[in-house]
Chain A
């Protein structure tokens, strides 16, 4: 599903070049459940951005679901994000003036899916995350855990190749956080490819493979035998 070779990212800040990633090689197969761990400054956020096609590498190649994406135009990258990536963010990032259902449907709107099919699918997804009775609520009317569940439903809207979650439980209390992690595990068992970025070892422990990052490189990459 994902294949990166010698991926490097350099940021120019003023006169100094910052090497956020210094040659990352990684392969992730479909159906895997991976955690990417590391302290702040390790490059894990940069790696996530590149994996999610929110940013492009300075050097190296990135093969996503069979397609080379490192040199693509930003319009095409937007399409790839729409078709192949499902994002879940720490601060939920739902559209504030849309209902839960409309939020879930938004990626499908950008895809060009007809309204009837969108409606059917958003119902299905919201029921899957057990929010069938809150479909017409706005984010301001939902709790943190509920908002994150809407985000997860949204991430699956267009049947993406990977679901990328950046500190998904960071803004949640432990009970809601647990619910979310249970949900991810269920999705993984259903066959989805899940990648979680976190600094919290107890969260990483729920996954099946843990990748450690340090100073812009992968320092360890092993299955989780917990």
Chain B
């Protein structure tokens, strides 16, 4: 009861200060907008980069042949180590820790013709498991290379979407015939569009894939068996699998199993972990920048509180004279500061919600900007913002309101 009446009176006092308070509220709204937008962009970017890194594949290790650096069993150092197609089956048999594995033939600058359109692109020859590992997913109406294709060395080809666009434009491609390096092939599928972060021979969307067995039969002279791609069954135990890999291949190729440079390994899982950490770092940075903006607005709140308390000193003195406790006075002003903070914050949040929706609707063509993703306001962002607003309200309010509580009614009442 008491609080309701007092609150009505405080509300009237606040309304008198409308203009000044409005400016402060606007400043808080602006600061809130800044921090929420920055965090939202950070979140959107993180999500997008997550998607992009999956474009390369999930939980991958890529192995190239290297060069020995340690003499072994009478053989000198400096010997090149070259991988071979049969290594795929060898490793699959001997290392149970490997879940999927594929070899990769590479042929740069392959001429590919459809009708009158000829382009030169990177062509790879792979095992069927490659598709799942490296996220070469077929669009509806097509399929990826399968075991039957491998067994029968079929002349079938799977195209990246950019390559398909270059050859066919918007026409249907699945089922059509194209000439690959002079040999007719049938298109069996087109890759789903994807963002790709991390690559080792150019973007996948520009490539063509044929079965490894077909590559071997038709183009062995002009193709290079460059690397293996595998997925460990348990990513946490991948270092142990790596050592196994060295052991098995060192037996076959005669190099010291501890000779690290004998093979060249890209632990994509490691890189992706690093990328995540970096993204979190960027998010924190954006949050701090936004937070600082909001803090500046908070200083504005403290300032306005000091000013209004100075102007209302006489009223505070009157209330104290008729019985308001210093504690009551302190809580009143603390509450006012919090109200300013939360009303401003609410406006800022609403505005940023609207902005995020508008900005999210804009389609971005530029490939670089695509990594920006779409700004997203997650509930964690909401909670963080509310917490910061509360902290600012309290911090901005506590010092002025304690000053108010310390007003000596005797002094403030005698003078006009």
Contact = CB atoms under 8 A, between A and B. Distances in A.
Interface of A: 45, 49, 52, 54-55, 74-75, 78-79, 81-83, 87, 89, 91, 93-98, 102, 105-107, 109-112, 114-115, 154, 157-158, 166
Contacts of B252: none
Q: Report, nearest first, the 4 A-B pairs whose CB atoms are least far apart.
A: A82-B323, A110-B323, A54-B410, A78-B325
Contacts of B410: 49, 54-55
Contacts of B325: 74-75, 78-79
A102 B327 CA distance: 22
A75 B408 CA distance: 13
25 contacts: A54-B408, A54-B409, A74-B326, A75-B327, A78-B324, A83-B323, A87-B322, A89-B413, A91-B416, A93-B314, A93-B321, A93-B413, A94-B318, A95-B315, A97-B16, A98-B12, A106-B322, A107-B323, A109-B5, A109-B6, A110-B319, A110-B322, A115-B1, A115-B5, A157-B322
Interface of B: 1-2, 5-6, 9, 12-13, 16, 314-315, 317-328, 408-410, 413-414, 416
A109 B409 contact: no
B6 A54 contact: no
A82 B322 contact: yes
A107 B322 contact: yes
Contact of B321 (A87, A96, A115): A87
* Residue of B13, B321, B322, B327 most packed against chain A (CB within 10 A): B322
B297 to A, nearest CB: 27
A45 B414 contact: yes
Contacts of B6: 109
Given A78-B320, A107-B322, A110-B322, A102 B408 contact: no
A109 B320 contact: no
A4 B16 CA distance: 43
Contact of A78 (B1, B9, B318, B326): B326
- Residue among A78, A87, A94 with the most chain B CB within 10 A? A78
Given A45-B414, A49-B410, A97-B16, A111 B9 contact: no
Given A78-B320, A89-B413, A114 B1 contact: yes
Nearest to B321: A87
Contacts of B409: 54
A158 B322 CA distance: 10
A105 to B, nearest CB: 8
A79 B321 CA distance: 10
Contacts of A166: 414
A158 B318 CA distance: 16
Contact of B318 (A45, A82, A95, A115): A95
A54 B321 contact: yes
A82 B1 CA distance: 18
A98 B9 contact: yes
Contacts of B318: 93-95
Contacts of A158: 323
A166 B414 CA distance: 9
Contacts of A106: 9, 319, 322
A54 B323 CA distance: 10
B323 A78 contact: yes
Contacts of A89: 413
Contacts of A45: 414
Nearest to B315: A95
Contacts of A111: 323
Contacts of B315: 95-96
Contacts of A157: 322
A81 B322 CA distance: 6
Indicate the member of A54, A83, A87, A154 with the most B CB atoms within 10 Å. Answer: A54
A178 B18 CA distance: 41
Contacts of B322: 81-82, 87, 106-107, 110, 154, 157
Given A82-B323, A110-B323, A158-B323, 14 more contacts: A54-B321, A54-B410, A74-B325, A75-B325, A75-B327, A78-B324, A78-B325, A79-B323, A81-B322, A87-B322, A95-B9, A110-B2, A110-B322, A110-B324
A112 B4 CA distance: 12
B408 A95 contact: no
B28 to A, nearest CB: 25
Nearest to B414: A45
Nearest to A93: B318
A164 to B, nearest CB: 10
Contact of B12 (A79, A97, A109): A97
